[in-house]
Structure 1
Amino acid sequence: MALDASPPTLTGLTAPLDKTLFRKSIPILAARFSPTKIGSVRKSEPIRRTVIDLPRLRSVIPDPSAPAGDRLLLLKVSSEVDLPPQAQDFLKTESNGLVPYTLELDYDYWTADEMIQAILPESLRERSPTGFAMTGHIAHINLKEEYLPYKHLIGQIILDKNLQVRTVVNKLDSIDTQFRFFKMELLAGDPDYVVEHHEADCRFTFDFTQVYWNSRLHTEHERLVQVFKPEDVIADVFAGVGPFTIPAAKKGCAVLANDLNPQSTKYLSLNIENNRVSDVVKVSCEDGRAFIRGVVSRLIADPFPAYSGPKKSKNQENQERRRQRSLVPPTDTTPSLPRNKISHFVMNLPDSAIQFLDAFRGIFSHLDNQECDDIYITMPMIHCHCFTREIEPENARIDIIKRVEEKIGHPVVDDFSLHLVRSVAPNKDMYCISFRLPPMVAFDVE
């Protein structure tokens, strides 16, 4: 026994979506029972397999003809002859009679997946675009060409069926050539693209149409930040609006954050302020290659203050002010040195970050050798995100290492690792290659 509760198929719909067309009436039987008996009846062996089991529908409702009296137990048959013999016998002896009942289903009942299936031709249903990613209040999808005629219907359904969504956009294939963010079109909802997005206990505000952000990379953001020590200095070459910078700074790291896109640095500065890490982040807006070549000497000339322990909450800051007023000496009087050494370079621009690796050649060559030896006892780690068309892991490893070594002009052997971040297309994977900068590269004199 089963009821067909699927929505009506309406493949000829055009935008705007007419919700009134999605109605379905299903005639069934209902059995009357007194309220005191209904609980035990539902569990009884002869009857429990005949009760409707549709999602989001109650199987027991008040009797419309006598709301204060009997309850109706809804059955998944439309005729008494469809009931199994045991169920028929049970209902004749235990119920107060059978009555016809009509299930009325409408647009609000069905899920987004079911609705999208209902508006698509049968040939497109198998891989229907029911998934989406959330960034703040924006749901963004990547529609393949064959689904574009239905894009506004799909957008409206996603908007209607998800209360947290206020705007639905489709990412287009075209990418801003200079700043590498996706262009997009509005499918449904408000044309409001400035979002507030939360990740790793951090708050990010940005215009989704003007900067690059990928919510699917949150695990990669967390993975790499876990590698950093609180006392480290991080050089974030392509910082964007701060998905690495902000959580690293909240951990205690000092960060030199750079991005070429003025909109990114605008919102990065706002996010630094909103997350209360202004004292440990410096922002620049320049080409990544120029940033790499100048950031080492810049930090030596203008170091960050010494690491002073984990970032304090507002309550801890208030306690610290009270301690200072009462002249209670701090418990730790060990002197600390200013932070003038970069421990990690983060290069999160997978489309072209490898092309910037040649900028590391000679970044120490213009510095005093003794000064470098004192500060850089160990070379910085480089974490470079990239794409490869090689799907087999060993082939991907060979491809990425070859491209990296061609750019830096030296083998990468120290502290080397290769991490698969995610698959971005059937024949395209994203990796993060991490390696320690070879001294021969850092001191290279052209």
Structure 2
Amino acid sequence: MSKGISSQLILPKGRGFGLKDGVLDKDQFRKVIPVLAAKVPPEKAGVLLKAPALKRALIDVPKVKSVARGPDQQRLVLFRYTDQADLSPEALEFLQSESAELVSHELTFDYDYWSSDEVIHAILPEELEAEAPSGFAVVGHIAHLNLRPQYLPYKHVIGQVILDKNPSVRTVVNKLDNISTQFRVFSMELLAGDPDFVVTQSENDCRFTFDFREVYWNSRLHTEHERLIAKFSKQDLIADVFAGVGPFAIPAAKKGCAVLANDLNPSSFKYLTLNIAENKVGALVRAFCEDGREFIRQAFNRAWDEPLAPVLPPKIRRTEQKEIRAGERPAPPPGPPRNRIGHFVMNLPDTAILFLDAFRGVLSRANAGERDLSGLYGEASMPMIHTHCFTRELEPAKAEEDIRLRVEEQIGHALGEDATFHWVRSVAPQKEMYCVSFRLPRAVAFAS
């Protein structure tokens, strides 16, 4: 009995396959495999495909159609075998009853046929195959990897394979270990494709443009962005302390919120400003480029001194618009300007907790000066603080205890029972990301 086609579609594995002088050699991936086929008129192809006698014999290979064009407008129904002897007696009898002619047909499988995982597994030495890199994140047109040291000798070949196999990718980079501690920006090296690092990424019905080398962006956080933004009311005024290029601030503004958005990184501020304009939310977002602690201390004063745009009135029907233009009815009045901050977002998980001490006395005379902010903030209307952080505790109860202690140490006050601890994602085998949300204690805000 001959081997079925599936067994012949296994790429050889081992050191050097698919490489020539260390460079990807696509010709080595070309395979030409003869298969058995039944040549029939076009109208009979469907009959053969549905025949119970042929069900187990038909070709079953991904990305290969069961019917091919033959000579003289005939059709070739393909089988999984190369030899007529492998067909069952029932299959042969049925083909004979349908006057089908058995012929040999060549199928060509080239480099384009194989998946990126199959190619990478074939290229790597056997000892590296088990944990071969398969996943990568995509930001705009950039695919970025985080290769382990043992795979670095093959980094450019791996990059080329990913580039070849993903049409939307134009640039492949590898993140390096070193990281800018101030702005949390990774160094990266180009593995394949264009050296174009300015990307446009869509998220939450917004478009974000930025230089991936110069700012922090994590596509895995899109659900966390959605989760927090869902908590905001369009009447809210939001203060985004570590805004980056705007993944919280701009969708919140699209929802109708007013936003004070800040980032210390000049490149983040540059693209934040650009994205505010491109998403047409300039009337609702004010951008700042300063230290997060200073931004917190000044946010309440700024909102008091220069209230942000009022809530837009609800959309009205065309007939009502005509009546307003004709003076037959008054236009709906806009809401009052917004000067009370309802939420602080602090998405800098590595160090955000350390900035919470900036809230001590933030509404006191020592910080507010002659502004009397006490009327804006009753006990139940104090702003919510959403602080992202890391913990080494893997059990939820221990993680909550760890985060609670660190937060309380910084604000100098116990968290209320309404504080929530939301697990965001696992960052590493011993590192979890959480978001702790709590209402700023009035005693902390007005402390002397």
TM-score bin (small chain): over 0.9
SS of equivalent to 1:173? strand
Deviation (angstroms), 1:303: 1.0
Equivalent in the alignment of 2:36: 29
Structure 1 residue 51 corresponds to structure 2 residue 51: no
Equivalent-residue separation in structure 1 for 2:328 and 2:176 (angstroms) = 60
Equivalent-residue separation in structure 2 for 1:203 and 1:84 (angstroms) = 59
SS of equivalent to 1:376? coil
Equivalent-residue separation in structure 2 for 1:198 and 1:136 (angstroms) = 8
Deviation (angstroms), 1:94: 2.4
Equivalent in the alignment of 1:376: 377
Compare 14-23 and 234-243 and name the one that shifted more.
14-23
Gaps of 5+ in 1: none
Pick aligned residue for 2:306 from 294, 298, 302: 302
Equivalent-residue separation in structure 1 for 2:413 and 2:248 (angstroms) = 28
After superposition, where does 1:272-291 map in structure 2 within 5 Å? 272-291=276-295
Deviation (angstroms), 1:142: 1.6
Equivalent in the alignment of 1:342: 341
Equivalent-residue separation in structure 2 for 1:404 and 1:429 (angstroms) = 16
Kept after mapping to 2: 8 A contact 1:8/1:23: no
Structure 1 residue 147 corresponds to structure 2 residue 151: yes
Deviation (angstroms), 1:145: 1.9
Pick aligned residue for 2:180 from 147, 170, 176: 176
Deviation (angstroms), 1:323: 7.6
Counterpart AA for 1:51: L
Compare 321-330 and 36-45 and name the one that shifted more.
321-330
Compare 144-153 and 222-231 and name the one that shifted more.
144-153
Equivalent-residue separation in structure 2 for 1:318 and 1:20 (angstroms) = 65
Equivalent-residue separation in structure 2 for 1:337 and 1:187 (angstroms) = 53
Pick aligned residue for 1:106 from 69, 94, 110: 110
Kept after mapping to 2: 8 A contact 1:7/1:23: no
Kept after mapping to 2: 8 A contact 1:8/1:22: no
Compare 321-330 and 404-413 and name the one that shifted more.
321-330
Counterpart AA for 2:10: S
Deviation (angstroms), 1:372: 2.2
Counterpart AA for 2:228: L
Gaps of 5+ in 2: none
Deviation (angstroms), 1:123: 3.0
Equivalent-residue separation in structure 2 for 1:379 and 1:126 (angstroms) = 53
Compare 223-232 and 24-33 and name the one that shifted more.
24-33
SS of equivalent to 1:375? coil
Equivalent-residue separation in structure 2 for 1:246 and 1:95 (angstroms) = 68
Equivalent-residue separation in structure 1 for 2:6 and 2:272 (angstroms) = 54
Deviations, residues 147-189 of structure 1 (Å, cap 9, x unaligned): 2222111111111111111111112221112111122111111
Structure 1 pair 363/148, CA: closer, same or farther in 2 (3 Å)?
A: same
Structure 1 pair 240/332, CA: closer, same or farther in 2 (3 Å)?
A: same
Deviation (angstroms), 1:93: 3.1
Using the aligned pairs only, state the percent identity. 57
Equivalent-residue separation in structure 1 for 2:351 and 2:172 (angstroms) = 29
Kept after mapping to 2: 8 A contact 1:60/1:74: yes
Equivalent-residue separation in structure 2 for 1:39 and 1:317 (angstroms) = 56
Pick aligned residue for 1:212 from 213, 216, 219: 216
Deviation (angstroms), 1:89: 2.4
Compare 9-18 and 205-214 and name the one that shifted more.
9-18
Equivalent in the alignment of 1:67: 72
Equivalent in the alignment of 2:363: 364
Compare 273-282 and 146-155 and name the one that shifted more.
146-155
Deviation (angstroms), 1:369: 9.3
Equivalent-residue separation in structure 2 for 1:274 and 1:116 (angstroms) = 40
Structure 1 residue 354 corresponds to structure 2 residue 359: no
Equivalent-residue separation in structure 2 for 1:130 and 1:51 (angstroms) = 31
Deviation (angstroms), 1:374: 1.4
Equivalent-residue separation in structure 2 for 1:388 and 1:126 (angstroms) = 30
Deviation (angstroms), 1:309: 3.6
Deviation (angstroms), 1:141: 1.6
SS of equivalent to 2:405? helix
Kept after mapping to 1: 8 A contact 2:5/2:82: no
Structure 1 pair 317/369, CA: closer, same or farther in 2 (3 Å)?
A: farther
Task: Return the TM-score normalized by structure 2.
Answer: 0.92
Equivalent-residue separation in structure 2 for 1:365 and 1:130 (angstroms) = 54
After superposition, where does 1:325-336 map in structure 2 within 5 Å? 326-327=326-327, 329-333=329-333, 336=335
Paired positions, count: 437
Equivalent-residue separation in structure 2 for 1:97 and 1:419 (angstroms) = 66
Deviation (angstroms), 1:342: 0.7
